[in-house]
Amino acid sequence: MEHPDWLWRTPEPRRSYDVIIVGAGGHGLATAYYLARNHGITNVAVLEKGWLAGGNMARNTTIIRSNYLWDESAAIYEHALKLWEGLQEDLEYDFLFSQRGVLNLAHTLQDVREGTRRVNANRLNGIDGEWLTPDEVAKVCPIVDVSPDVRYPVLGGTWQPRAGIAKHDYVAWAFARKADRYGVDLIQGCEVTGFITDGDRVTGVRTNRGPIHAGRIGLAAAGHTSVLASTLGIRLPLQSHPLQALVSELLEPVHPTVVMSNHVHVYVSQAHKGELVMGAGIDSYNSYGQRGSVHVIEQQMAAALELFPIFANAHLIRTWGGIVDVTPDASPIIGRTPVENLFVNCGWGTGGFKATPGVGWVFAHTLAHGEPHALNEPFTLERFTTGALIDEHGAAAVAH
């Protein structure tokens, strides 16, 4: 039997490129695609130490939304959501983008105040959002227990109808296929071990497959960004933590939307195939091992059962972990570094998937022009010195 056509080539690395992107996850692939599509820069390599989209792109819970509190965040996430809305046509690939909405539940007075404030902030930024009463929550998602006699009763929730999910692997493959057709080299099994420098600028990378030169280099390596940057003596305000998720067996459709709860700390949707997909918060300790502690899974399942009594009949099939790079203000760092020609896109913590096309767009701009796009200008490394933080901790329904 013949192998079906590959979606991309498997080229040998050339000796030099205009731009090298480190990390072939969603962000790296989207960046390569928009470098070619928006800026005509196609002499590009995306270097991946493992296999394409095998890191956090393979491990996330695929939630897409833009209901962030602060203007800077709302702008970049809404830019991403608008791109998602036309992306299947643009990439000519059906990756099961489904705008089934997201409910962010409130269980305390503080949650209610935070949620109503966020809805108002979102609407001022032109982002769809509504405050729902418990009865309205039950209409949107009938399997949520909104009765008053549970430990943390549902007092209401925010509702973003345009939010949703997509099939994460297909998204990566769609970007990879298009980038490859533009001539971008996607090189798997190519680990960057250090950089080639000339004075205070980078001129290339050292890899397990030899040195490769580049005009500009962009890091899109998530949890491993600190490790790469440290080879140049660059210190970043990142801490790498495990983030776990889990799925149930395949079930008939029972869950029509995406439900998130910060207070009991779980987020859950039902994939097209039928698995319930759940995630929780990060494990507390720094780690690069792609696994976490079982009590975190136990807590997230307890939270899910509290909200969805019907899940008592479901079985846990699989859990896994990815390594997320967390910043002190729960916002990403996208832009210049102290080293010329080296740019970072990192610090997305637990919420990078939803931003995939948006960050590809602005990071491509940053790499093409050597300076940030207006949308990533606030997300500098310098903000930790100037104090211009974009503090989404607790502000943005931040369980991603």
Q: Which residues bind other proteins (CB under 8 A)?
A: 224, 226-227, 230, 235-240, 284-289, 293-295, 325, 328, 384-386
- The Cα–Cα gap between 381 and 355 comes to 19
Joined tokens for residue 173: 């493959």
Task: Output 133 or 231, the one with its CB closest to other proteins.
Answer: 231
Q: C-alpha angle 7/10/14, rounded to 5°? A: 135
Calculate Rg over the CA atoms of the chain. Answer: 21
Smallest distance from the beta carbon of 114 to other proteins, in angstroms?
24
Task: Output 238 or 268, the one with its CB closest to other proteins.
Answer: 238
In sequence order, the 6+-apart residues with CB closer than 8 A to the CB of 355 are: 27, 76, 77, 80, 332, 348
Smallest distance from the beta carbon of 222 to other proteins, in angstroms?
12
Which residue matches tokens 């079982």? 294
Task: Output 20 or 236, the one with its CB closest to other proteins.
Answer: 236
Smallest distance from the beta carbon of 333 to other proteins, in angstroms?
11
Task: Output 235 or 272, the one with its CB closest to other proteins.
Answer: 235
Smallest distance from the beta carbon of 243 to other proteins, in angstroms?
15
Smallest distance from the beta carbon of 385 to other proteins, in angstroms?
4
Each as own residue / partner, the long-range contacts of residues 303-306 (CB below 8 Å, 24 or more positions apart, any chain) are 303/261, 303/264, 303/265, 303/266, 304/266, 304/268, 304/276, 304/278, 306/145, 306/150, 306/151, 306/152, 306/264
Task: Output 13 or 378, the one with its CB closest to other proteins.
Answer: 378
Task: Output 67 or 287, the one with its CB closest to other proteins.
Answer: 287
Smallest distance from the beta carbon of 174 to other proteins, in angstroms?
31
Contact (Cβ atoms closer than 8 angstroms) between residue 316 and residue 301: yes
Smallest distance from the beta carbon of 356 to other proteins, in angstroms?
24
Smallest distance from the beta carbon of 227 to other proteins, in angstroms?
5
Task: Output 256 or 328, the one with its CB closest to other proteins.
Answer: 328
Task: Output 313 or 385, the one with its CB closest to other proteins.
Answer: 385
Distances (CA, A) of 31 to 217, 249, 378: 12, 34, 19
Each as own residue / partner, the long-range contacts of residues 387-392 (CB below 8 Å, 24 or more positions apart, any chain) are 389/328, 389/329, 389/331, 390/70, 390/72, 390/73, 390/329, 390/331, 391/70, 391/329, 391/330, 391/331, 392/68, 392/69, 392/70, 392/73, 392/329, 392/330, 392/331
